[in-house]
Amino acid sequence: MRAAFASLLIAVLVVVLGAGAVFYAGVYDVAATTPHWPVARTILEMARQRSIKAHAAGIAVPPGLDDPSKVLIGLDHYAAHCAVCHGAPGVPKGDIGRGLYPPPPDLTKAASLYSLAELFWILKHGIKMTGMPAWSDHGDEELWATVAFLEKLPGLSEQDYARLLVASMAHGGHHHPGGGDHDPAPPTPSSLLPARPGR
């Protein structure tokens, strides 16, 4: 038993020292133009998923995320800070988003893979080694509003997104690309929102 434990300890030590030598020698390519080695990608993806799940476990989702005014606040944050990397309906990823590795996910699909609490945690704390910044200085209310918008995002067409941008501007939001400059009678936010997708 002691010999087996010693052999295991030596094997682990050899692997750790070997990995350290590879990293120290600069053999591992950290360029964003080169994908991770499959084993590194698997380890990082598992660590990311498990960490998000563990850290978001105690977060309570506030009531009222369906409030159209919250969705507009979230849209404003998304259009100003997220669409450049993640894109939006009718809005392609910008140069920054296209240059990141791993590539920022298409949130019309990826957002449904996370719970609302997990989305909030990701927005607030960011994710290391992905280019996803922490938005903790924006305040919880704005971040929850962004989560409210992300929940609606999968059901939005290009036209829905453009109309919501116009409604956001009419309600005091910022001007963002893809929203147009004029709308003589902006629609009300609640009339623009598609039915809530199932979770």
Task: Report if residue 39 sits inside a domain.
Answer: no
CA dist 120 and 178 (Å) reads 25
In this structure, are 176 and 123 located in the same domain? Answer: yes
Residue 141 CB partners (closer than 8 Å, separation 6+): 73
In this structure, are 22 and 109 located in the same domain? Answer: no
| Whole-number percent of the chain with pLDDT over 70 | 86
Q: What is the phi-psi region of residue 143: left when phi exceeds 0, alpha when psi lies from -120 to 50, beta otherwise?
A: alpha
In this structure, are 68 and 134 located in the same domain? Answer: yes
In this structure, are 63 and 139 located in the same domain? Answer: yes
In this structure, are 21 and 77 located in the same domain? Answer: no
pLDDT tens figures, 101-152: 999 999 988 888 999 999 999 999 999 989 999 999 999 999 999 999 999 9
pLDDT over 70 at 197, yes or no = no
pLDDT over 70 at 185, yes or no = no
Task: Report if residue 3 sits inside a domain.
Answer: yes
pLDDT over 90 at 50, yes or no = yes
Please tell me the pTM assigned to this model.
0.78
How many structural domains does the chain have?
2
Task: Report if residue 65 sits inside a domain.
Answer: yes
pLDDT over 50 at 183, yes or no = no
Task: Report if residue 50 sits inside a domain.
Answer: no
Task: Report if residue 45 sits inside a domain.
Answer: no
For the chain, how big is the Rg over CA atoms in Å? 21
C-alpha distance from residue 173 to each of 84, 125, 159, 184 (Å): 17, 24, 18, 16
pLDDT over 60 at 189, yes or no = no
In this structure, are 166 and 73 located in the same domain? Answer: yes
List the domain range (segments joined by +) for residue 107: 55-192
Task: Report if residue 198 sits inside a domain.
Answer: no
